Amino acid sequence: MTAPPAARTDRPLLEVKDLKKHFPIRTGFFAGISGYVYAVDGVSFAIRRGETLSLVGESGCGKSTVGRTVLRLLEPTAGEVWLDGQRIDDIPLRRLRPLRRRMQVVFQDPFSSLNPRLKVREILAEPITNFGLASSASELDDRIADLMDKVRLPRDAVNRYPHEFSGGQRQRIGIARALAPGADLIICDEAVSALDVSVKAQIVNLLSDLQDELGLSLLFISHDLAIVEHITHRVAVMYLGKIVEIADKRTLFAAPKHPYTEALLSAVPVPDPTTRRNRIILTGDVPSPIRPPSGCRFHTRCPHAFDRCKVEEPALRTVAPGQVAACHLHDPAAQPVARAA
């Protein structure tokens, strides 16, 4: 994948600062709140123009909740979200609406995310007309035809319904819908996980080509590191509601610094069957986000944990140029003296 194009400014397109999303737990309809699910608990990252940041981790770690909270499909509990220098997490929804055309999403299921009662033309026309981007019927037709060309579907397919397409074609329609209002940030929420292997490659290549052509920024949410390696510029690894490591693609895949990242990468299949990889098997289950462990949230499964990990939460600190990790093993002021029970 080519490097991101030169930015027009040093300011990131998207900045997320200490984002939190806690879901209240109620034991009955009239009962009070008995606790919270700490789905996202202090996440920070930035995405430059023309860059892809992949958010990866096990199912249930909170990565999809991050994407939906950034989009304000879920209201954040705390933290800040900045789009092109403008804070958007606390503005009224009526003022947010004009900004939504700049932030679009491609969902996981390419069938349920499309209205089965609408033809493709109506699906693509809806965001264009909602934001007043076409002044005439002919201009609307031209925009729709251009979208079909961009996602490599025949123009006459606009007269068909979603059920008449394959899964990969439906996902292309979803991508075209995200492009329709002129978005410069697209959040891909497990956008290829429901597709066959060969179709995944086609969609990833399409996203890469569109990024090069349009200068798009992508937040690519996935649990598939083999796919991530082909599309991303940087990777952020999440575990139980927190980011534990961020690095550029080459650095992270070659020299991960967090034990959880090492375990994830050890499970990625390698194309050469003769190549041996030391698989890291994590013991125990993922803790509940209702009662996350104290200290480092990974210490209950970490093979390198020591006493400090149980009581003190590690901060994200620079461990190499362009690489940060939240692990006490990389704090020069603290050496492991005893293993945690």
Q: Does residue 232 lie within any of the structural domains? A: yes
Work out the number of other CB atoms within 10 angstroms of the CB of residue 248: 15
CA 307 – CA 114 distance, rounded (Å) = 51
CB of 231 within 8 A of CB of 200?
A: no
Q: Residue 6 has what pLDDT?
A: 44
Q: Does residue 117 lie within any of the structural domains? A: no
Q: Which helix (H) or strand (E) holds 210?
A: helix 197-214
Q: Residue 232 has what pLDDT?
A: 94
Q: Does residue 61 lie within any of the structural domains? A: yes
CA angle (229, 235, 241) in 5-degree steps: 130
Sheet of strand 103-106, all strands in order from the earlier edge strand to the far edge: 103-106, 185-189, 217-222, 52-56, 234-239, 242-248, 323-325, 317-320
CA 157 – CA 107 distance, rounded (Å) = 21
Q: Residue 338 has what pLDDT?
A: 47
Q: Which residues are CB-neighbours of 54 under 8 A, at least 6 positions away?
A: 220, 221, 222, 228, 231, 232, 234, 235, 236
CA 315 – CA 328 distance, rounded (Å) = 8
CATH code of residue 233? 3.40.50.300
Q: Does residue 118 lie within any of the structural domains? A: no
CB of 47 within 8 A of CB of 7?
A: no
In the chain, how many domains are there? 1
Tokens of 23: 């879901």
Tokens of 205: 């290549």
Q: Residue 198 has what pLDDT?
A: 86
Q: Residue 8 has what pLDDT?
A: 47
Q: Does residue 179 lie within any of the structural domains? A: no
Domain housing 26: 14-102+184-330
One digit per residue, pLDDT tens: the chain, 341 residues?
544 544 445 789 999 999 999 999 987 777 778 889 999 999 999 999 999 999 999 988 999 999 999 999 999 999 999 999 999 999 998 899 889 999 999 998 888 889 999 999 999 999 999 999 999 999 999 999 999 999 999 999 999 999 999 999 999 999 999 999 999 999 999 988 888 888 999 999 999 999 999 999 999 999 888 899 889 999 999 999 999 999 999 999 999 999 999 999 988 776 666 666 677 878 888 899 999 999 999 999 998 999 999 999 999 999 999 999 999 998 876 555 444 44
What CA dihedral angle connects 189, 195, 201 and 205, to 10 degrees?
A: -50
Query: Is this prediction's pTM over 0.75?
Result: yes
Q: Does residue 124 lie within any of the structural domains? A: no
Q: Does residue 4 lie within any of the structural domains? A: no
Q: Does residue 341 lie within any of the structural domains? A: no
